[in-house]
A and B are shown apart, each in its own frame.
Chain A
Amino acid sequence: MLEKFVVGYDGSETARRALDFAVARATVQNGSIVLVHVLEWSPYSFLTPTELEERHMRRRQEMERAEAAVMAPVIKELTAQGVNVTPVMRYGKTADILCAVAREESAVQIFVGREGHSALEARLFGSVAGALVQTAPVPCTIVP
């Protein structure tokens, strides 16, 4: 059976390092990659009436943009290398979504880069890596 590795990917350099690290492990272990891109979203945020009206339209545009700019190039590259990769795009909180996908896919590991956020922001609101360490259902690898 193929072992699945969930990778959190936002197009940043650290995320790319995490992905490369995961791909190296997957290739050795004959595993596959579940590439997860999370669009940060809280259902408890405050919007103006115009934002409410356009939300459905904007969501579609955001998905298309993320697909084209973040996911498509890397998927194409990995597929060309012969890596088995499944793309996933979702709205929500990054750590929660990564855990949820890991459960749904029965993945064996989660890989993320260490923080795109500033140190202060991470200290105040907590980092994705920090949250994963506490809540992940499977082992986590945090790539510096």
Chain B
Amino acid sequence: MFKWTLPAAFAAAGTGLAATPAFAQSLDDQVNQIFAVSTGWFVTLIFSNFPGTAFPWIVAWLVIGATVFTLYFGFVQFRVIRHSIALVKGDYSDPKNAGEVSHFQALATALSGTVGLGNIAGVAVAIGIGGPGATFWMILAGLMGMASKFTECTLGVKYRNEYADGRVSGGPMYYLTKGFAERGLPGGKILAVLFSIFCILGALGGGNMFQANQAHQQITGVVGQYPGWITGLVFAGLVFAVIVGGIKSIAKVTEKVVPFMGILYVGTALIIIAMNYHLVGWALSQIFVGAFTGLGVAGGMVGALIQGFKRAAFSNEAGVGSAAIAHSAVKTNEPITEGFVSLLEPFIDTVIVCTMTALVIIITQQLVTDPATGLYLLNEAGNAVRTIGDTSGVGLTSAAFGSAISWFPYVLALAVVLFAFSTMITWSYYGLKAWTYLFGEGERKELVFKVIFCVFVVIGAAAQLEPVIDFSDAAIFAMAVVNIIGLYFLMPIVKRELESYVERLKSGEIKKFA
């Protein structure tokens, strides 16, 4: 769901500082400039590279976090995955609790917030720049990210708030506050407040403006150019109807169509792969060889690695803390079970969906190779692999699917728009929870946030506000900085829960119902 032109952030931040005559400025330019000047430093800080490399430290932060959790919990993601699937199927759900939130429902809702542009456009960028080898590193990062999700979602359920009227809400702001207090650690409240601020900004930006912006671009790609505010108003109207008007039917339609679109996307990818089954072995060898040699891409092996890690982190949000908010409403007496279920999320998002996109792009041979050496050729700028028709991002994915099934780009455009809408609905909720944590609950206060959210939909679709969107993306990753610090301090609590549960599962104390 994230932007794939980070260098543009720095370019925009730079141009924003340059003085231009005031009379020549449109409103967009003015907004751009104000934002760039006041927030450019923050974007630069979050997305800055390690000295002398093109490796953003925030990506290393997420990957190191995922590795620490993977080792600390003894590769929990591989040990429990069968139990995770049994939990999602409902084998361990008490029939008496029918009508409450099931594991499946919590997982599906969290997934609808993460599956989206990251899987379709982000992967294309990774392969366009890092070559097929990026896929290997992306999958590896996805597998590690499962442990981060497991940690944060277990804590999300364990420290959720259950109100007298029966509502349930949870997330990093609650486990940072309550968990730190329980362990007698200082600073939980500060981390929670910081997390909430970043979460609101991230919700308005990456979870809203960016989505509206990309949806508009997809629609104009199919029907031709028209002003963005029209898309913005339609989207804002729909979002308003769902989050303020409580119009269930729109939400219901989206929530039903989005999973269908996801299945259609993966299904179509599988069909294209099956149509070219004789190339599967070759594609896999390209992925493995490319992962360790780069096969001629810019930056070689390291270039492939950075791209793979980056896109996995940007796509599945493991470590960001957002999913813990959605997962915490599940009905269970064992918080750890939701951790088990949530670790399927990066698996589905990255290891399955992202890999499908990657395989289709590789197998349909969108990347141009030198027939003599077998290495990939670079484009004229020398910063990415040359592609047939010079496509990149969502255009590359679209071209790859379109080369096999000519009408699929239209379906893809529709899918992107729907994914964008469902991501907006989910992130409006994440933002709202952070908002009520800071300002307290109450219909008036909540309405203020919801109206602000809808206004930002219009702004996002109407304007090319690069610095604004980059700033908001930076805010989402700032959430990960705060969240993972918290997770390091709270992971012993999760370990206790894990050991106790596994023991009871082995002894037969925890039984299947079905």
Do A and B belong to a common assembly?
yes
Which A residues contact B (CB, under 8 angstroms)? Answer: 39, 41, 43-60, 62, 90-92, 100
Given contact pairs A46-B105, A48-B109, A48-B242, A56 touches B100 in the complex (Cβ within 8 A): yes
Q: Is the CB of B326 within 8 A of A41?
A: no
Using an 8 Å CB-CB cutoff, how does the interface string of B154-176 with A read, 1 for contact, 0 for none?
A: 00000000100111110000000
Task: Give the complex CA separation of A53 and B174 in angstroms.
Answer: 15
Task: Give the complex CA separation of A31 and B104 in angstroms.
Answer: 41
Q: List 13 A-B contacts (CB under 8 A).
A: A39-B99, A41-B99, A43-B90, A46-B255, A49-B329, A49-B426, A50-B243, A53-B167, A53-B429, A56-B101, A59-B166, A92-B95, A92-B98
Residue of B nearest to A40 (CB): B99
Min CB–CB distance B8 → chain A (angstroms): 31
Using an 8 Å CB-CB cutoff, how does the interface string of B312-350 with A read, 1 for contact, 0 for none?
A: 000000000000011001110000000000000000000
Q: Is the CB of B106 within 8 A of A52?
A: yes
Beyond the given A49-B326, A52-B168, please list 16 additional residue pairs across the A-B interface where CB-CB is below 8 A: A39-B99, A43-B102, A43-B104, A47-B101, A47-B109, A48-B242, A48-B251, A48-B426, A49-B109, A49-B113, A53-B169, A56-B166, A56-B331, A57-B166, A59-B99, A62-B99
Given contact pairs A57-B167, A62-B99, A52 touches B104 in the complex (Cβ within 8 A): no
Min CB–CB distance A29 → chain B (angstroms): 30
Q: Is the CB of B100 within 8 A of A47?
A: no
A45: chain B residues within 8 A (beta carbon): 105
B237: chain A residues within 8 A (beta carbon): none
A39: chain B residues within 8 A (beta carbon): 99
B214 within 8 A of A: no
Given contact pairs A60-B166, A92-B95, A55 touches B425 in the complex (Cβ within 8 A): no
A41: chain B residues within 8 A (beta carbon): 98-99
Residue of A nearest to B166 (CB): A57
B108 within 8 A of A: yes
Min CB–CB distance A94 → chain B (angstroms): 12
Residue of A nearest to B329 (CB): A52
> Per DSSP, are chain A's interface residues mostly helix, strand or loop, or mixed?
helix
Task: Give the complex CA separation of A58 and B251 in angstroms.
Answer: 17
Q: Is the CB of A43 within 8 A of B105?
A: yes
Q: Is the CB of B425 within 8 A of A49?
A: yes
Which B residues contact A (CB, under 8 angstroms)? Answer: 90, 93, 95, 98-102, 104-106, 108-109, 112-113, 162, 165-169, 242-243, 251, 255-256, 258-259, 325-326, 329-331, 425-426, 429-430
Residue of A nearest to B111 (CB): A46
Given contact pairs A43-B93, A43-B104, A57-B166, A90 touches B98 in the complex (Cβ within 8 A): yes
Min CB–CB distance A67 → chain B (angstroms): 14
Task: Give the complex CA separation of A56 and B242 in angstroms.
Answer: 20
B325: chain A residues within 8 A (beta carbon): 49
Residue of A nearest to B164 (CB): A57
A53: chain B residues within 8 A (beta carbon): 167-169, 329, 429
Task: Give the complex CA separation of A41 and B101 in angstroms.
Answer: 11
Residue of B nearest to A47 (CB): B105
Q: Is the CB of A52 within 8 A of B256?
A: no
B101: chain A residues within 8 A (beta carbon): 47, 52, 55-56
Min CB–CB distance B322 → chain A (angstroms): 11
A52: chain B residues within 8 A (beta carbon): 101, 105-106, 109, 168, 326, 329-330
Residue of B nearest to A57 (CB): B166
Task: Give the complex CA separation of A45 and B430 in angstroms.
Answer: 21
Task: Give the complex CA separation of A4 and B182 in angstroms.
Answer: 53
Task: Give the complex CA separation of A54 and B329 in angstroms.
Answer: 9
B165: chain A residues within 8 A (beta carbon): 57
Task: Give the complex CA separation of A25 and B242 in angstroms.
Answer: 50
A44: chain B residues within 8 A (beta carbon): 102, 104-105
Question: Of residues A43, A59, A100, which shows the largest number of chain B Cβ atoms within 10 Å of its Cβ?
Answer: A43
A55: chain B residues within 8 A (beta carbon): 99-101, 168, 329, 331
